[in-house]
A and B are shown apart, each in its own frame.
Chain A
Amino acid sequence: MSDEKLLRTPLHEEHLALGARMVPFAGWEMPVQYAGILEEHRAVRSSCGIFDVCHMAEFRVFGFGAFDFLQRMFTNDLSRIAELGQAQYTLMLDEDGGIIDDLIVYHTGDLEYLIIANASNHAADFGWLKQHAPEDLELVDESDRTALIAVQGPEALRIMGELCGADWEAPARFTVREASIDGSVPALIARTGYTGEDGVEIVCRAGDAAAVWRVLLSFAEVTPCGLGARDTLRLEMGYHLYGNDMDRNVDPISAGLGWVCPKAKSGYTGAETVARVREAGPTRKLSYLRVEGAIPRPGFPVLREGVEVGKVASGTFSPSLETGIATAYLPAELAVEGQTVEISIRKKTVDATVVKAPFVTKTSLNG
């Protein structure tokens, strides 16, 4: 990784001007923090934070076969977003039911869908889709010319309203709508996010990203936020992170993502595995752990009566709860609310309790 030349988003210069600390992430040079992770985290929970997520991948699928193709490639039922503007969280599986990626698919037009995927899976996703797509389908990787900026927090929609003009109506949750930002920048505004707060994700031309970023920052209540806060915010909500909480070695049921694989739907790639694990019950399940007085980090051993039963998948400090929080795959009999395990944190062993997700229940989305 260190020898590889890191990619830069269209907002690179903005980050440097703001004094961001830049780190490598999924082949990109990304801001991990500006003022500080705790401060940025709290800004999103109490007001509004903006995130450069231009590293994420955008694919457009267009053609008569678009619905059938994506219905076959993805686990969620695409007919649930039959109306234009609707969006859904979904998974793409391999033939063995392993998770290739988690994605959001937006029904952006007649015969047309926009897919937003993880930066870390960009090439793998596009390759997989291309390999399976019918020849008469248009499948375009729009990532290079597309910017993505997340605007998240209880004040996010009010700010977007001020930016998009009096006639603009905010899209409903999990829908997308066109807008002209500040009267000049054409954009898609999606009412989605990865923080647990209300807010939007702005899709626009890469060349317009800096202008959008700057006009957002012209609001005193807006704080620029890095990947550090993005991680603490998403883990407080129990949202999965690909590579930590799931990968090709895990099926959706074990990952706790059965709700994205409707029982009534069959015929998609990996469906047999999902049905089988659902029927038999998973042997290991992604569990949520709360730890007092210490920070569990990825890879730390999880023990039960001194015997290792798993490893921390995601782990961090929860700024809202001021405790350690983590996920781990545990044997099904331990993956039950109220069970206690221990986490080996360097030289000491710390008690952890299995809890229900989300860790933080009161936000502007579900307060």
Chain B
Amino acid sequence: MAHPNDRKYSNEHEWVLVDGDVATIGITSFAQDQLGEVVYVDLPDAGDTITAGDTFGEIESVKSVSELFAPVTGEILEVNDGLADTPETVNKDPHDAGWMIKVKLDDASEYDGLMSAEEYDDFVTQG
């Protein structure tokens, strides 16, 4: 399972792709595989603020539920509303169409502190 190296990763299995001061956030291919087929994604609203380390939503498969942990702090600019109707997109295309929220980064150093793709691959293979 390839984790693209155009972005960074949290130890809670979120990816963060930065364009200027806008961070797009989703869950990793590894995470969706562990979770199984996603049936519900519960996300906050645009305008809400997320704080690094805090939960910002939930993602649920038939067998289990996981909280989503914010990898960075900032105001939510956009939410992927399509996931409400087609949650399976998270499984099919976790790193692209399965994105969850876009956030205006408060503090770029939070992003810098995340793992590279290589570090994340090591992190998940070491279990």
Mark interface residues in B67-88 (1 if CB within 8 Å of A CB, else 0).
0000000000000000000000
In contact, B36 and A293 (Cβ under 8 angstroms): no
- The answer to whether B60 has its CB under 8 Å from any CB of chain A is yes
For A, the interface residue count at a CB cutoff of 8 angstroms equals 17
Query: 4 additional contacts, CB 8 Å, given A37-B63, A319-B62?
Result: A39-B37, A228-B36, A295-B40, A346-B58
Contact A36 B36 (CB under 8 A): yes
**Chain B: how many interface residues by the 8 Å CB criterion?**
10
Q: Nearest chain A CB to B42's CB is how many angstroms away?
A: 9
CB-CB < 8 A to A33: which residues of B? 36, 63
* Residue pair A38, B40 in contact (C-beta under 8 Å): no
- Report the Cα distance A39→B62, complex, angstroms: 11
Instruction: Determine if A295 and B37 form an interchain contact, defined as CB atoms under 8 angstroms apart.
Output: no
| Between-chain CB contacts (< 8 Å), 16 pairs | A36-B36, A37-B36, A37-B37, A37-B62, A38-B39, A39-B37, A294-B40, A295-B40, A295-B60, A295-B62, A316-B62, A317-B39, A317-B40, A317-B60, A322-B39, A346-B58
Q: In chain A, what residue has the closest Cβ to B60?
A: A295
Tell me the complex Cα distance, A297–B65, Å.
10
Instruction: Please determine whether A228 and B40 come into contact, CB atoms closer than 8 angstroms.
Output: no
A223: interface (CB < 8 Å) = no
With an 8 A cutoff between CB atoms, is A312 at the interface? no
Chain A positions within 8 Å of B39 at CB level: 38, 295, 317, 322
Give the interface of A toward B (CB within 8 A). Answer: 32-33, 36-39, 228, 232, 293-295, 297, 316-317, 319, 322, 346
Residue of A nearest to B39 (CB): A317
For the complex of A and B, 6 pairs with smallest distance between CB atoms: A37-B62, A38-B37, A36-B37, A317-B62, A317-B39, A228-B63
Taking CB atoms, residues of chain A closer than 8 Å to B65 are: 295, 297, 346
* A-facing residues in B41-71 (Cβ within 8 Å): 58, 60-63, 65
Contacts of B37 in A (CB 8 A): 36-39
A228 and B58 in contact, given A295-B39, A317-B39 (Cβ under 8 angstroms): no
Give CA–CA (A38, B37) in the complex, Å: 7
Chain B, Cβ-Cβ closest to A32 = B63
CB neighbours of B61 from chain A (8 A) = 37
- Nearest residue in B to A37 (C-beta to C-beta)? B62
> How far apart sit A293 and B87, CA to CA, in the bound complex (Å)?
12
Kindly identify which residue among A38, A293, A294, A346 contacts B62, using a CB–CB cutoff of 8 Å.
A38
Please give the distance in Å from B93's CB to the nearest CB on chain A: 16
Asked, given contacts A32-B63, A37-B63, A228-B63, whether A293 binds B40 with beta carbons under 8 Å apart, the answer is: yes
A175, B61: Cα distance in complex, Å = 37
Contacts of A317 in B (CB 8 A): 39-40, 60, 62
Interface centre among B36, B58, B61, B62 (most CB of A within 10 A): B62
Return chain B residues, CB-CB under 8 Å to A319: 62
Residue of B nearest to A36 (CB): B37
In the bound assembly, the distance between CA atoms of A228 and B37 in angstroms comes to: 11
The CA of A317 and the CA of B64, in the complex, are separated in Å by 10
